[in-house]
Amino acid sequence: MSKPKRKRYVVVPGQGDPCPRCCQPTQIREHSEVTEKHRRQPFYFSRWFHCTNPQCKAQMICPERFKVWNPHLNARRRDNLERWLVSHHAQKREQRAVMDSVDRGQLVLWGDAWPDEAPTDTSGSAPWE
Ligand SMILES: [Zn+2]
């Protein structure tokens, strides 16, 4: 971005939905200006919520109801895109669920609980089977 730095959003008065991750209140934001660039995309969000909790990883919450589809997008392309987004989101959710259980200490990916010596016998079935 070579343009001078300026705020690309404005804060809308009022409060958004509570953060789905941490339940803290959220700020409503919208683009300071919807540009040609936004309109060229398959869709953009007219508004979104910003989590006010600095510790929260969600930060930006984009509810479906604020999604603005490009009216020039043909139906098939939009269908494909929506399908892709659904599977993409499902994947993300799964990743997030894993990271959450790591945070809560329910699942250890790496760290102290990792066995000093990983099983070396790879000939048979997996050790957890
Ligand atoms: Zn949050």
Buried b (16+ CB within 10 A) or exposed e, 9-43: eeeeeeebeebeeeeeebbbbeeeeeeeeeeeeeb
Residues near 58 by Cβ (< 8 Å), separated by ≥ 6? 19, 20, 21, 22, 51
In this predicted structure, what is the pLDDT of residue 106? 78
* pLDDT above 50 for 33: yes
CA of 102 to the centre of ligand 1 (A): 18
Taking residues 59-67, what's their average pLDDT? Answer: 91
Residues around ion ligand 1, judged by CB within 5 A, are: 19, 21-22, 24, 51, 53, 56, 58
Centre of ligand 1 from the C-alpha of residue 122, in Å: 42
CA of 27 to the centre of ligand 1 (A): 11
What residue segments make up the domains of the chain, in order of their start?
A: 9-103
* Ligand 1 center to 4 CA (angstroms): 30
Instruction: Please determine, for residue 1, whether its predicted confidence score (pLDDT) is greater than 50.
Output: no
**pTM above threshold 0.75:** no
